[in-house]
Amino acid sequence: MASIAVVLVLQALLLFVTAVSAQPQYACNSNSGSIQSYAFCNTSFDLSNRVRDLISRLTVQEKISQLVNKASAVPRLGISSYEWWQEALHGIAYSPGVQFGGNVPSATSFPQTILTAASFNTTLFYKIGQAISTEGRAMYNVGNSGATFWSPNINIYRDPRWGRGQETPGEDPVLSSQYGTYFVRGLQDVNEGEPYSDASAGLSRLKVSACCKHFTAYDLESWNGVERYNFNALVTQQDLTDTYNPPFQSCVQEGHVSGIMCSYNRVNGVPTCADRNLLTNTLRNNWGFIGYIVSDCDAVSLIYDATKYASSPEDAVADVLKAGLDLNCGSYMTQHAQTAYQAGKINDFDLDRALTNLFIVRMRLGLFDGDPKTQPYGTLGKSDICSDEHQQLALEAACQGIVLLKNEGRSLPLSQGSVKTLAVIGPNANAANIMLGNYHGNPCKYVTPLQGLQSYVSTVSAPGCASVACTGDDLISAAVDTATKADAVVLVVGLDITQETETHDRTSLLLPGQQQQLITQVASAAKVPVILVIMCGGPVDISFAKYDNRISSILWVGYPGEAGGVAIAQVIFGEYNPGGRLPVTWYPENYTQMSMLDMNMRPNPSTGYLGRTYRFYSGPTLFQFGEGLSFSSFQYQFTSARRRLSVFMSSNQSSSSELHKPSNRRKPYSFFLQAEDSRCETLQFPVKITVSNQGSHAGSHSVLLYHTPPKSSPTGSPKQQLIEFTRLHLEAGSESSVTFMIRPCNHLSTVKKDGSRIFHGGMHTLSVGDVHHRLSVMQVH
C-alpha cells in the first residue's frame, strides 16, 4: 500500500490524531426510530435478506459512495461512514482508520512477521492473531479503529532484495500457508480455536475481519527502473500453482479469510485487480472464497493512468467491477463510477454484486447490530490493550523466532558469573523503533538490546556507526576501545527501514557502509567471545563473519518487536534456548547479478539462471532455509512409517485417465494420479518420528519434514519440499515423538507444467535433518 499521496494522508492523519473525536462506526442504533424496523437492522433475518433489503434502499449515488475505503455515511438510513483501511501486520498499526492517542496511546507490537514465522509454531501464529484481534476489537469499541484489518501479507518471499520480505512468513509455500491460516483464524474466530464448520464459515460472525494480500505474484517494489506499479510479472502456470498461489488458497479454504487484496502488478499482462480469471474463476469459483476483494491502494487508477491497460478511467472502473473487485482503496471509483454508469459500462448488477460482498462483511462484524457494547466482545476496552498477557506473548514470540546461526566452542550462552563487563557495540545496540520494522503502531514500551543486556551484567557501549547506513568510519576506533575494556562483546548490527521497506528494495545483500569494517576491527581487538547479533528482515551476506574464527556466535533476530531487547538478552544469557529456523535462504552477494524481474522459480541452465528458494535454487548458499542451532542437540528416527504404498488401478483406467501407457504392467512405478482423483482420499498413512534431546539444555525444537520426489517425476519438480512441521519442547535428555498424517496426493505430489498436480509412482524420500526414509510407490491392477 501507500502511494505518495497516501503517505501524505497518513502523515496528516497522525498530526490530527488527538483532534478526532472517537466514535465507534455502526448502524441500527436503537435510537434511530423507524429505521430500526427496516429488515436490514433486524437480526432475526438472515444476512442475505438483510443485505438485499439494505441495497434495495440505496440510490445509485449512495451505492457508488460505498465502493471506496472511506465509505460515506447514509444519514437517512442511520448508517455512519466507515473506514475500511486498518493495518495490523504484527500489532495494531498506524493506518487511516487507526487512531493512537487519547484513550488508546499504544498497542502491543509483536515481532515483525518474518521473525515470528521462524518459530515454525502454528500455536504462536494463532495466539498472536488472537491478541491482535482482541486489541483491534477493543479499539473499535472505544472508537479508535474500524474492524477490518488488511493483514496478513502472505506473498512468497522470492528474492532476498525485496523490501517487504520482512512482512511475510518467508519463501516456502507450506510455511506461508500455515502462517496465513493460523494468523487469520486468530484474528477472525469468535469461538476460540474451535474449527469452523465449512458450511457456516462464509457467513459466521467475525471478531475482526482479516485480509490476505497481495493476490498474486507480488514481490517487487522497484528494480532497475521497473516499479511495482508498472511491473508485468511473467509467471508460468506451474509456478502459480505450486508457489505463488498456495498461501492464498489456504487462507481461503483453511483460514476462511473474509478479505483478499489484489496487487499492483500485472500477471502475464493483466492487472490482477482487473483479472476475472484470478478474482472470479480462481478465487471465488474454484476456491470458494466468500468475502470482499479490495484493490491495493490506488491500484484501480493505475489500470488507466499508469499502464493504459484500460482506455479510459470509466473502462478501468468497469474492468475491475466486471472482474469481481468489490472495494477500491483510493477514490477513483467515486470519481468515475457515475460516468461509467451513465455510459452503460457498468450497471446495477455490477454495483449490487460488490455491495453484497461488502455489507455482508460489515454485518458479520456486527456493525449493523446497534451499539457494539451490547454485542459479543462488547466489553473489550482500554485494559485489554497492552495487557501483561499480550506483552508477555510479544516477548515469547521474539524468543521463539530468534535463530542461532553459529556457536563455535559453545560460546553461548554467556554466564553472568564469568562476564563482569559486557561491551555492547553497533548501530542497532540501542535500537528502539528500529526493532519494529515497518507497518508498526505505537508500542506499549520498548526494551532495547542494550537495556536488555544491562539487566544481566554491567555494560559499556558504543554505536560504532552514526546510523545503520554507517557511511563513515570515524566512530570505529572509539568502539574498538570500548570493546577492549570488556570480557565479552555483543555486536548488534544489521538493517532498518531506510535500507529495506515498502517502495524500497535493496541492491546489495552486504551490510551497509562500514559495518563490516566495524565488526572485523572490533572482533580482532576484543577478547573472545564476540557475539554477532544481526537485526534485519531480509538476509544479508555475512560470509566474512561466518568464516572469521574471532566471531564465536551469530544470532539473527529479525525485527524483534517491542520486547526485542529482553528476548536477545534471554537468549544470550541462556534463559531461553533458541529454536528458531530461517524462513528464507541466505544467498551470497553475487545472487544480485540475477534479474529481480525474473519470476521463474526453476533454474534455467541455458541462461545460467539459478532459480529461487531452497526448493529450486542450484547455486551456493550462505545459510539454508530451515537452518538454526540450539544450545542442545536433537536426533531423529523414523520409528513407524510404511516403506511401500500400492495404488490400485483398475484395468480400464490407464486408457481413460491420464495414465502413462496401458501396457505398463512391467513398470509398476510408471504411473501417476491426478490430485483430484477420488482414490486420493483413501490414500493416507501416518509417519511417526521420534526426537530426542541429547544435550544438557531443555529446549524447543521444530521438526521439519521434507519430501524428495522420485527421479522420474515431471520436469521442474522441486529438489525437495517442506511438507509438514511441528514444534516440540524437550527436557534435556528426554525424547518425544510426533506423528504426521501423510496424504500422498497432497504432500507427495508435484506440479506439471500445465499447472496440474500429480502424485507420481516411484521411490519417494521423506527426510528430517539428515535422516531419510524411503517409500516405494507402485501400482497394482
Ligand X SMILES: *[C@@H]1O[C@H](CO)[C@@H](O)[C@H](O)[C@H]1NC(C)=O
Active site positions, annotated: 296
Cα dihedral 429, 430, 435, 436, rounded to 10, equals -160
Residues at the interface with ligand X (CB under 6 A): 36-37, 42, 44, 121, 123-124, 127, 396, 400, 588, 590-591, 593-594, 610, 619-620, 650, 652, 656, 700, 727-729
Bridge partners (DSSP) of residue 738 are: 689
Complex with ligand X: residue 285 or 650, whichever CB lies closer: 650
- Which lies closer to ligand X via its Cβ, residue 302 or residue 738? 738
Nearer to ligand X, 574 or 588 (CB): 588
Nearest to ligand X of 123, 767 (CB atom): 123
Helix (H, G, I), strand (E, B) or coil at 19: helix
- 3-class DSSP assignment, residue 681: helix
247, 212 in Cβ contact below 8 A?
Answer: yes
Of 120 and 229, the one with the shorter C-beta distance to ligand X is 120
CB 669 to ligand X: min, Å: 22
Per DSSP, the residues of 403-450 read EEEEEGGG-PSP-TTT-SEEEEESTTTT-SGGGG-SS---BS----HH
Rank residues 43 and 430 by Cβ distance to ligand X and give the closer one. 43
CB 315 → ligand X: shortest distance, Å?
42
Residue number, 70 or 679, with CB nearest to ligand X = 679
Element containing residue 768 per DSSP (H, E): strand 762-768
Segment holding 201, helix H or strand E: helix 198-201
Write out the three cell numbers for 148: 477490518
Rounded to 5°, angle at Cα 154 from 300 and 214: 5
Q: Which is nearer to ligand X, 549 or 593 (CB)?
A: 593
**Nearest approach, Cβ of 235 to ligand X (angstroms)?**
21
Question: Does residue 669 contact residue 706 with C-beta atoms inside 8 Å?
Answer: no
> Do the bridges between strand 226-227 and strand 222-223 make them parallel or antiparallel, or are there none, so unpaired?
antiparallel
Neighbours of 344 (CB within 10 A): 9
d(CA 197, CA 189): 12
CA distance 144 to 163: 29
Question: How far apart are CB 605 and ligand X at their closest, in Å?
Answer: 11
DSSP 285: I
* Residue 578 beta carbon to ligand X: minimum distance, rounded to whole angstroms: 11
> How many beta carbons lie within 10 A of that of residue 416, not counting itself?
12
Measured between alpha carbons, how far is 82 from 77 in angstroms, rounded to an integer?
Answer: 14
| Omega before residue 413 within 30° of 0, cis | yes
Minimum Å distance from CB 480 to ligand X?
32
Q: Which is nearer to ligand X, 405 or 691 (CB)?
A: 691
CB 541, min distance to ligand X, A = 11
* Min separation Cβ 625 and ligand X, Å: 17
* DSSP-H helix ranges across 466-541: 476-484, 515-525
Residues 348/246, Cβ–Cβ less than 8 Å? no
Which cell numbers hold the place of 212? 490476505
CA distance 737 to 637: 9
- Nearer to ligand X by C-beta: 123 or 503? 123
Residue 645's nearest CA partner among 751, 752, 742, 721 is 742
For every residue of 214-277, DSSP letters joined together read: EETT---SEETTEETTT-EE---HHHIIIIISHHHHHHHHTT--SEEEE-SSEETTEEGGG-HI
Residue 622 beta carbon to ligand X: minimum distance, rounded to whole angstroms: 11
- Pairwise CA distance, residues 276 & 279, whole Å: 5
Least distance (Å) between residue 700 CB and ligand X: 3
Nearer Cβ to ligand X, position 317 or 582? 582
- To ligand X, the closest distance from the beta carbon of 37 in angstroms equals 4
Please report how close the Cβ of residue 187 comes to ligand X at its closest, in angstroms.
16
Helix axes 47-56, 348-364, angle to 10 degrees: 130
Q: The cell 506473498 sits on which residue?
A: 155
Q: Which long-range contacts (CB under 8 A, 24 or more apart) does 712-717 make?
A: 712/669, 712/670, 712/760, 712/761, 712/762, 713/750, 713/760, 713/762, 714/750, 714/752, 714/753, 714/758, 714/760, 715/753, 716/238, 716/602, 716/751, 716/753, 717/750
Closest CA to 592 of 265, 227, 224, 236: 224
Overall size of the chain counted in residues? 781
> CB-wise, 350 or 369, nearer to ligand X?
369
**CA pair distance 747, 675, nearest whole angstrom:** 10
Residue with cell 538490546: 449
